[in-house]
Structure 1
Amino acid sequence: MFIGTIFINIIIPILILLLVGAGLQRKFAFNLKAISNLITYCLMPAAVFINLYQTEIDVQILLEIIGYLVAFSLIIIVVTTVLSKLLKLERGEAAIFKNSISLINSGNYGIPVSQLLFHANPLGISIQIIVMVFQNILTYTYGLYNLISATKSGLEILKSLLKMPVIHAMLLGGLLNWLQIPIPSFLWTPISHLAGAFLAIALVLLGAQLAQIELKTIVNRTIVTSSIGRLIIGPSVALLLIFIFGIDGVVAQSLFIASSFPTSRNSSTLALEYDVHPDLAAQTVLFSTVLSAITVTFVVYLSTVLFV
């Protein structure tokens, strides 16, 4: 598959939906919190449930994926800590910098990309879902710790995680899959419709969110370095670990691609909620998302050369 073909078939559809979302937001000023809740509490859980219910994942492969994700995250955390010290960032700015590289947009960017890329192979999508769940856990532990370690207890973080519908959907989908319990059509049909709506609405929402970010001072040392860390260093570390772990095939391709996505929108949301350089966090999300159109295209192409 040529780079141009990947860009046209995978990235362009995503960019179109992002532009649609940005344009609609500029014109109508949607209540983005309400749309975000619709995705978080309804559409994403439906998509996660269906993919995990339909896909068989070998226990050994699952353990291999979890081991890889733990190693990948630890290395990235160490790298970001070293880089923040080299850049001599003050505490709040360093927290945003470390989160911007460690936290990946695996939800409303990663899953749609995987759905487009692995539409004929549910395993690829299911792996991305596992990555997304792991990233959510990382966000509300390490990411939150970076911002408010002195004010948030471990119990409160655990409660926040347990309230996430995507966790419930993942557990239920995996359990019903394992027990091979059939789902009646009157339940399966509405769940399928909700899951089918996720891709488009998630990307439209992301575009609408990006449209609200101010462009001023978007190119500075911290933003550029964090984008390089997220879009170049991240995939490089992933590729090294994939070779070390001896992972191949669709699993290797999925994990490599999952490492290339831009900075998580949640990093900006948390920064805004706790008032820790929210403008810097938002501008980093925008800058890395724009650049990802180029870098993700290259990583997808490289994954087809190395692992397919």
Structure 2
Amino acid sequence: MSYFVYILLNNVVPLSLLIALGIVLQRAFHLDIKTLSKLNFYLFSPAIMFQMLYESELSFKVMGQVLLFFFVFFFALTAVVEIVIRLRGYKGGMRPAMRNSVLFYNSANYAIPLNQLVFVNDPFTLSIQIIVMMMQSLIPNTYGVYSVNAHKQKLKDTMKTILSMPVIYVIPVALIMRGFHIPVPHPAYISIDYIAKGFIATALTTLGVQLGTMKWELKLRDVAISNVLRLCVGPLLGFFIVWTLGFHGDMAKALILSCAVPTSLSSVLLAVEFDNEPEFSSQAVFSSTVFSIFTVTLVIYLIQFVG
């Protein structure tokens, strides 16, 4: 029960309040969702990614193990989603929207505090989650951009869009500067810190603004499918892959927990930025965040039995 209450009070309620604020602001002032989306993609996301990677303590051995797990998990989950897409007969923009709602999960502002709660501020498990977060930032800005544009844009134009995403440059720069102990000028780092601290509030407010613009034509069946794949199938696959790869202890538990979190805000930002099923994406993020109270609590209980 303590996990349930903690997740509710420290993750879901604060997130929901910021989302609600976005809805209120949209209804009162009719904010420009495209401007907010661009701020997230080109300013706040790169800043928080740089800061977290630059300040992290990552070993190459742990990074290799986590990346092995991540890619096996990502491709296995992709295969499951593709089967569902074909069985449901999704067309056009709904295909990438469903993929993104399952494959992109909240590995930063939800998973990191959750990791630190479960593992009591363990730097080893935090480094695992930071690597997952790095990949969950890189893939939406590359594959995610490609997937939402592939059905309506030439490959050349899509590649130009991908190459304009600052996160794909920020990640290697942060890792190189951290690896070679290259200092960031103090005034610049103060600015980066200010921007990074605004990421969560801006991203959640953007989701609220998007929800405030919707007609709320509920896509209950599609949203339910997305939620089940993200919150139930995801951690089940995580359990299976950890067992298959022979991972044990806190490494295994942290990897499984990383698979159990709700749909990422990046799926909404992609949907809004490229006008690709924003209503479905917003509903998937919001509902998966709410239902994760129960599913994540169950996963936390079950990982106690992982050797």
Identify the TM-score tier after normalising by the shorter chain: 0.7 to 0.9
Tell me the secondary structure at the aligned position of residue 50 of structure 1.
helix
Decide whether aligned partners of structure 1 residues 57 and 81 sit closer, same or farther in structure 2, where only a CA change above 3 A counts.
Answer: same
CA contact under 8 A between 2:204 and 2:265: conserved in structure 1?
Answer: no
2:240 matched residue in structure 1: 240
1:165 matched residue in structure 2: 166
2:30 matched residue in structure 1: 29
Which digits, 9 at most, give the CA deviation of each residue in 1:87-145, with x for residues without a partner?
Answer: 4545664554344323x243xxx311245343955665654454344345544665566
Letter in 1 for 2:292: S
Decide whether aligned partners of structure 1 residues 8 and 77 sit closer, same or farther in structure 2, where only a CA change above 3 A counts.
Answer: same
CA contact under 8 A between 2:22 and 2:204: conserved in structure 1?
Answer: yes
CA contact under 8 A between 1:48 and 1:129: conserved in structure 2?
Answer: no
2:108 matched residue in structure 1: 111
Which digits, 9 at most, give the CA deviation of each residue in 1:201-223, with x for residues without a partner?
Answer: 2222222223333322332x333
Offset at 1:51?
Answer: 1.4
Distance across 1 between alignment mates of 2:11 and 2:245? 28
| Consecutive unaligned residues in structure 1, runs of 5 or more | none
Does residue 38 of structure 1 match 2:35? no
Tell me the secondary structure at the aligned position of residue 2 of structure 1.
helix
Identity %: 29
267-276 or 15-24: bigger deviation: 267-276
Residue pairs, 1:1-308, within 5 angstroms: 2-89=3-90, 93-102=94-103, 104-106=104-106, 110-117=107-114, 118=116, 120=121, 127-139=128-140, 143=144, 149=150, 152=153, 155-219=156-220, 221-248=221-248, 251-267=251-267, 279-299=279-299, 302=302, 305=304
Tell me the secondary structure at the aligned position of residue 198 of structure 2.
helix
Offset at 1:156?
Answer: 4.4
Decide whether aligned partners of structure 1 residues 166 and 244 sit closer, same or farther in structure 2, where only a CA change above 3 A counts.
Answer: same
36-45 or 148-157: bigger deviation: 148-157
Tell me the secondary structure at the aligned position of residue 174 of structure 2.
helix
Which digits, 9 at most, give the CA deviation of each residue in 1:18-41, with x for residues without a partner?
Answer: 222222222222222222222322
Which digits, 9 at most, give the CA deviation of each residue in 1:45-103, with x for residues without a partner?
Answer: 2211121111121112112222112111111121122223334545664554344323x
CA contact under 8 A between 2:4 and 2:293: conserved in structure 1?
Answer: no
Distance across 1 between alignment mates of 2:46 and 2:68? 24
Decide whether aligned partners of structure 1 residues 59 and 228 sit closer, same or farther in structure 2, where only a CA change above 3 A counts.
Answer: same
Offset at 1:168?
Answer: 2.0
Count how many residue pairs are aligned between Structure 1 and Structure 2: 302
Decide whether aligned partners of structure 1 residues 254 and 149 sit closer, same or farther in structure 2, where only a CA change above 3 A counts.
Answer: same
Offset at 1:232?
Answer: 0.9
Decide whether aligned partners of structure 1 residues 205 and 245 sit closer, same or farther in structure 2, where only a CA change above 3 A counts.
Answer: same
CA contact under 8 A between 1:114 and 1:124: conserved in structure 2?
Answer: no
TM score, norm. by length of structure 2: 0.80
Decide whether aligned partners of structure 1 residues 166 and 124 sit closer, same or farther in structure 2, where only a CA change above 3 A counts.
Answer: farther
CA contact under 8 A between 1:105 and 1:262: conserved in structure 2?
Answer: yes
Offset at 1:192?
Answer: 1.7
Distance across 2 between alignment mates of 1:235 and 1:223? 18
Decide whether aligned partners of structure 1 residues 99 and 176 sit closer, same or farther in structure 2, where only a CA change above 3 A counts.
Answer: closer
Decide whether aligned partners of structure 1 residues 100 and 51 sit closer, same or farther in structure 2, where only a CA change above 3 A counts.
Answer: closer
Decide whether aligned partners of structure 1 residues 131 and 184 sit closer, same or farther in structure 2, where only a CA change above 3 A counts.
Answer: same
| Pairwise CA RMSD | 3.4
CA contact under 8 A between 1:133 and 1:167: conserved in structure 2?
Answer: no
58-67 or 25-34: bigger deviation: 25-34
TM score, norm. by length of structure 1: 0.79
Offset at 1:174?
Answer: 0.8
| Consecutive unaligned residues in structure 2, runs of 5 or more | none
Offset at 1:231?
Answer: 1.5
Which digits, 9 at most, give the CA deviation of each residue in 1:196-255, with x for residues without a partner?
Answer: 222222222222223333322332x33322221111111211222223334456654543
CA contact under 8 A between 1:55 and 1:126: conserved in structure 2?
Answer: yes
Decide whether aligned partners of structure 1 residues 147 and 193 sit closer, same or farther in structure 2, where only a CA change above 3 A counts.
Answer: closer
